[in-house]
Structure 1
């Protein structure tokens, strides 16, 4: 029988081929799914928005030399250092981080499949999670998420896909530094740069391998491994990281042994707290000026750290020497004149002190006393006064809208005829008020101080009155110091600044000087003249500097505040001493309180940075004058007995001294009749050197009948020229009329003054005797229409009795 050609098993013969085909299809499908999940699907998952935005960095304040002053907290309450590029991260820190977190970082593609397998095996064996498998890339994804997500399988898959996408978008050299910049190292420290400063007070580049392993150990569990609470656990983790670094070949055996044995020298990171008042003031300014609400990452300040520390130490030391005098606080600033940069600023003796140490005494307004006087005399020099101008230090009173104002000197003494140099150097109050009144009143001084950068003078001029020149208005130490710096710059204004410039200086046209340079030199010369201040301070006061330096003190009423201000061409220093609760000190003046602080600071500047002095302007003229009458001593003058050489602006030389100005027998200088009461006293400083000019036969003293002293006039727009013409009358006839602020003219031999708004002085002089009569008037703008009468002339308004507001004496060396 023939065998059947068809085998019973023949239908199953194609089975191997089908199986292979299915296996191939399954393999291809798996590969396709893997490719989809590995290369395609990640692009369907967006990266965390927080990763695509720059990390908020803590505002950091640096000193002028780059050393840190303070690092602030971010809005999240962290100290985040600035990003560090890959090439500037120490290799030891890179290796330590890889050893601790992800040793195959440079070989995987965002998800470490081998680590996942190992983790799954270990967790299965122990029945609980004992190890993780997340890579540095996955951790970066996790810490960059703006919202905390639940830790479930879906979250882990999403983060893995995001890690894959990031690896396909960024290089390894981008991912690793970004991780080190965003990871938390505990104790409010985020980022490796901030952690290095916070734990070791050193930059990254100076970290040792042991310190790098210390930092790399922290991100695993920053709270549990807090070195300030659990140093033993952290030390164990650090040694584990060092061992893994050695096993990976990143540490030699010798380096490993040294790192294991190295002791950890930790400090609790505070972000630094140097120059606290300067930083706080800068923060206040920047926050006020910011439009977005976000501060810059880094502030390069102008603070010189060595000088700042020295100034703070001087304040502490000098205040300790005033124990028992009820002096609790002081402030000081140092300015670089050429740039306006604040080199040092100390606002109190101790920022953390319990006696309101956080108040910034360099910025809090205080009464400056006589520290404002130089600006009055500067204005006078610009308007025809000279350092030799004679100012009568005699009793005077002024009628104000609220009553009579009688300025007094600190010691309540009267010094008779004094030169402008002596009046300023010895800080006399009455001459300062008289000069301001002769200049037209407080308006001019107020506008000048405002133009010089004093922002606290925000009231109308009549609120301060003539007392403004002796310090009845609050000012800030920093702003007043910069106003003095305008004099030191020979009139040029320059805003003060706490920030280094970020761009080259503009080539814009330079603003005209605020003051005439030659007049600024004269003020500097007077304030550096120890002889000029002898009348009040004596020859050996603490402000007699061992090198040329302009110095001015100030003391407010009842010793509540005292100041010492001064400058050289290079620097301006301002010092305030007092109490923040405004209680009086115990007989501490500008010389005994602020003066020693000023002297020590400026001596340090002179010794360490060097100081110079000004060359007199070429157009100044030197001439000898008699300080008793201000007359110029020439070869033809009689033997006057006393003289001093003085500077004069061109065209301002005083008249020569003549024989008629002196007693023939004694050589005493004649003084006008207004000094008669002062001369009658026997204790004045010119005893035996001056005499009253004798009255000539039939010669009567001059007397002004129109206008009356203290009259107030309103201009009237209904009249021609607003009624500015004021006829002048006096007896006897033939008197010479002058005014430092008003134009005097004649109308058919009748003298008149052309009125302008302000305070003015009118002087009638008898040509033969030189005797004077003076009246002081005030001219005000037109009143409301209801108060005007058609065809009226300027009408004097009598003053009302009462105590003048803000005009009690508050200048240097005075009492109320």
Structure 2
């Protein structure tokens, strides 16, 4: 009896546990009905955007956030062939089970246990839709979350609503989502007109859109299509003969511009500037479904479509002409100086050419700007009074010790030096050494602050990171930032945001807030200094040394322009402006490969030239105003001072009124010792110096000579400066017999020597030493003399 009672109690307890479990399961299963997701909650009514140019001409449609191309159609406007194909491929029993397919789960479990690996999945279409709405990690907790969301979908939607939401979100390759977008993109037909061959191919893609990419993996896609057709036979949608015939049918996937007429990079960039809606911030809507407005109002942009299409064509033509120089990519930007409106925006030669990285946006990409930042360091130095318009800068070899690195020795594109140059010549010819010397005066910290004020927000490293190379392009900037800074220059220091849409559009120019550089209020004379920089950049004669008289930079109307070439010829830039427009161009390679024999003037400048000429085809721009309050005076081209009788080249240069008294005063021109190395290498000296100076040898030099070869080793004695009388050379107190005024050659002889040059009352003296070299084996071609600088 006790045993029976004990058994009854045990059964009773077990029943309670079972009942409790059943109650819990029932409650859990009913909970989704208290939080159902209805079709309206996930309606894709916020994704379509239509863009027009400034005059109402269409630019593109069917664009959503993150560059996704999505189009929504109701279920009754989708070909039955596709509906049957996707059901057969993904969930043949969709209309016969709930959120979960228990038969499929049991089957998949058995197969996994038998094979000791996952053989087939058991995800239903409802579960796949849940994953699309809220992607979660492939973990136990993630799977539970997916099931919970699936139950909520079933609680609030019928089967047709779930299937409709599913096929409009299917990933169809690249940035294409939904069957309608895929049909339009790949076949230029609506989803309602898909035939069986097209439908079965499209139904094959969502399983793995990258692996079954129709453009890159056609054979894989065909194999997957056969699987889809076989499943359709099994589900009795078609018979085997039709499946075989359909599999052999030829289907052509076309390359489509996906509803875009012009400016694809601009449209995708603009779409990404739009702030997310509160619903999107909540996390239910995935990024590729987020959009702008439910009313699908047309967004009127500032783009000028005819100009945009012209610039796009020129980009392709210029790149085509440079292919043999290993040049494949380019970008261009056109801005209205008066309003800051973006008139043309080209990010690459062909956005839709994925094989050539066409989606890369060269307008927003960060690249080294070469010499295009130089005008801003000269402007800052003039503003702070560190240099004057007639200042002479030394374009001679220079070496800077950088902590933790080798000596920094800036050189120019031609690897030659011009010696003493005026500021105008240094800037117009883009000379590197003078620019570094000016930055040294200004200070890297101060210059970096000014660049930040001009809107170069991506120059976010420390001043030590950039060093003196900042003025030569050691940082990375975008073409957008560069164009914006030059618009500020064209507006004489007055910053303005770059505008992309008009106020009558549903989007209120989303880029304005980030585009406006925070330039401080103008200081005294700042307008004049910007005018002076513009005057130098528009001086065709000043830049003739580096670019020639008839380069592509010389246009038949006033234009200020600057080129740039990054290290190893990976990027070329040309940025310039008239009183009306600023044009910025970049030519290079997105993959970072160096170009061959291409610089700023041969790479980006021809593109810039074509755009500028087109912009002013019907009306020439007004001239640039001369610098306010400055006076032009004649100066010697080499000294920057009032010309003397022996000056061979006289030019006009601007002066501040307060500098006029200095101009009228002493005009003796003496080059400091930093020029000695450069002077010693000049074949002919085209300038005069007041002081007599021995250029070679240097004081303290040491020379080595091999015994017996004294007659073969000669040292040049070289002199510069004005001579008040015939020159006499004295060596260790003995006068040398020579007829040469500026130089002579002397056979090296061991000893300590004092060399003196005399011309009337002027004299200069240096000491040097010659020693016998240690007779050790030396490879031919090695130098047998060494020098130590002063």
TM-score band by shorter chain is: 0.5 to 0.7
2:420 counterpart SS class: strand
Mark the CA change 1:73 to 1:373 in structure 2 (over 3 Å): closer, same or farther: closer
Task: State the shift of 1:610 in Å.
Answer: 4.4
**Partner of 1:107 in structure 2?**
none
* Contact 1:332–1:575, Cα closer than 8 Å, also in 2: yes
Structure 2 matches for 1:115-154, cutoff 5 A?
149=158
Mark the CA change 1:348 to 1:224 in structure 2 (over 3 Å): closer, same or farther: closer
2:262 counterpart SS class: coil
Task: State the shift of 1:406 in Å.
Answer: 1.8
The answer as to 2:56 corresponding to 1:66 is: yes
Task: State the shift of 1:425 in Å.
Answer: 0.5
Structure 2 matches for 1:745-784, cutoff 5 A?
none
1:295 counterpart SS class: coil
**Partner of 1:407 in structure 2?**
410
Give the one of 633, 655, 661 matched to 2:662: 655
Task: State the shift of 1:630 in Å.
Answer: 1.6
Task: State the shift of 1:435 in Å.
Answer: 0.6
**Partner of 2:624 in structure 1?**
614
Mark the CA change 1:555 to 1:74 in structure 2 (over 3 Å): closer, same or farther: closer
2:575 counterpart SS class: strand
Give the one of 687, 690, 711 matched to 2:688: 690
**Partner of 1:182 in structure 2?**
none
**Partner of 1:17 in structure 2?**
none
* Contact 2:563–2:574, Cα closer than 8 Å, also in 1: yes
**Partner of 1:388 in structure 2?**
390
Task: State the shift of 1:279 in Å.
Answer: 0.9
Higher Cα radius of gyration: 1
Structure 2 distance, partners of 1:569, 1:387, is: 23
Mark the CA change 1:73 to 1:520 in structure 2 (over 3 Å): closer, same or farther: closer
**Partner of 2:269 in structure 1?**
281
Structure 2 distance, partners of 1:518, 1:542, is: 28
Structure 2 distance, partners of 1:377, 1:560, is: 25
Task: State the shift of 1:556 in Å.
Answer: 1.0
Mark the CA change 1:480 to 1:51 in structure 2 (over 3 Å): closer, same or farther: closer
Question: For each residue in 1:432-473, what CA deviation from the matched residue of structure 2 results, as whole angstroms up to 9, or x when unmatched?
Answer: 00011012x211111111111112101011100010001111
Structure 2 matches for 1:296-311, cutoff 5 A?
296=293, 297=296, 298-311=298-311
**Partner of 2:636 in structure 1?**
626
Structure 1 distance, partners of 2:435, 2:346, is: 31
1:381 counterpart SS class: helix
**Partner of 2:671 in structure 1?**
671
* Contact 1:675–1:692, Cα closer than 8 Å, also in 2: no
Task: State the shift of 1:337 in Å.
Answer: 1.3
* Contact 2:393–2:423, Cα closer than 8 Å, also in 1: yes
CA RMSD of aligned residues (A): 4.0
1:583 counterpart SS class: coil
Structure 2 matches for 1:331-730, cutoff 5 A?
331-353=331-353, 354-384=355-385, 385-403=387-405, 404-439=407-442, 441-502=443-504, 512-513=521-522, 516-608=526-618, 610-633=620-643, 638=645, 640-653=647-660, 655-656=662-663, 661=668, 670-683=670-683, 687-691=685-689, 693-694=691-692
Structure 1 distance, partners of 2:373, 2:619, is: 28
- TM normalised by structure 2 equals 0.55
2:562 counterpart SS class: strand
- TM normalised by structure 1 equals 0.53
Structure 2 distance, partners of 1:618, 1:371, is: 25
Give ranges in structure 1 of 5+ residues lacking alignment: 1-47, 82-144, 152-185, 190-194, 201-217, 231-266, 662-668, 702-768, 772-816
Structure 2 distance, partners of 1:55, 1:600, is: 43
2:561 counterpart SS class: strand
1:530 counterpart SS class: coil
Mark the CA change 1:413 to 1:692 in structure 2 (over 3 Å): closer, same or farther: farther
Task: State the shift of 1:49 in Å.
Answer: 8.9
Mark the CA change 1:49 to 1:464 in structure 2 (over 3 Å): closer, same or farther: closer
Task: State the shift of 1:513 in Å.
Answer: 3.9
Question: For each residue in 1:198-241, what CA deviation from the matched residue of structure 2 results, as whole angstroms up to 9, or x when unmatched?
Answer: 999xxxxxxxxxxxxxxxxx9xxx726999999xxxxxxxxxxx
Give ranges in structure 2 of 5+ residues lacking alignment: 1-37, 74-153, 161-177, 200-254, 282-289, 700-761, 765-790
Structure 1 distance, partners of 2:46, 2:358, is: 31
Question: For each residue in 1:180-209, what CA deviation from the matched residue of structure 2 results, as whole angstroms up to 9, or x when unmatched?
Answer: xxxxxx9839xxxxx9xx999xxxxxxxxx
The answer as to 2:312 corresponding to 1:320 is: no
Question: For each residue in 1:759-798, what CA deviation from the matched residue of structure 2 results, as whole angstroms up to 9, or x when unmatched?
Answer: xxxxxxxxxx9x9xxxxxxxxxxxxxxxxxxxxxxxxxxx
Structure 2 distance, partners of 1:564, 1:71, is: 32
Please identify, of 385-394 and 402-411, the stretch whose mean Cα deviation from structure 2 is larger: 402-411
* Contact 1:368–1:561, Cα closer than 8 Å, also in 2: yes
Mark the CA change 1:589 to 1:225 in structure 2 (over 3 Å): closer, same or farther: closer
The answer as to 2:260 corresponding to 1:272 is: yes
* Contact 1:349–1:357, Cα closer than 8 Å, also in 2: yes
Question: For each residue in 1:687-741, what CA deviation from the matched residue of structure 2 results, as whole angstroms up to 9, or x when unmatched?
Answer: 3333462379xxxx9xxxxxxxxxxxxxxxxxxxxxxxxxxxxxxxxxxxxxxxx
Structure 2 distance, partners of 1:454, 1:393, is: 28
**Partner of 2:236 in structure 1?**
none
Mark the CA change 1:80 to 1:603 in structure 2 (over 3 Å): closer, same or farther: farther
1:286 counterpart SS class: coil
Structure 1 distance, partners of 2:606, 2:374, is: 21
Task: State the shift of 1:496 in Å.
Answer: 1.5
* Contact 1:66–1:300, Cα closer than 8 Å, also in 2: yes
* Contact 2:257–2:352, Cα closer than 8 Å, also in 1: no
Task: State the shift of 1:401 in Å.
Answer: 2.0
Task: State the shift of 1:650 in Å.
Answer: 3.9
Question: For each residue in 1:729-756, what CA deviation from the matched residue of structure 2 results, as whole angstroms up to 9, or x when unmatched?
Answer: xxxxxxxxxxxxxxxxxxxxxxxxxxxx
* Contact 1:518–1:649, Cα closer than 8 Å, also in 2: no
Question: For each residue in 1:54-109, what CA deviation from the matched residue of structure 2 results, as whole angstroms up to 9, or x when unmatched?
Answer: 9546122221112221212579986479xxxxxxxxxxxxxxxxxxxxxxxxxxxx
Mark the CA change 1:274 to 1:526 in structure 2 (over 3 Å): closer, same or farther: same
Structure 1 distance, partners of 2:339, 2:265, is: 21
Structure 2 distance, partners of 1:452, 1:360, is: 22
1:282 counterpart SS class: helix
Mark the CA change 1:610 to 1:530 in structure 2 (over 3 Å): closer, same or farther: closer
Task: State the shift of 1:274 in Å.
Answer: 1.8
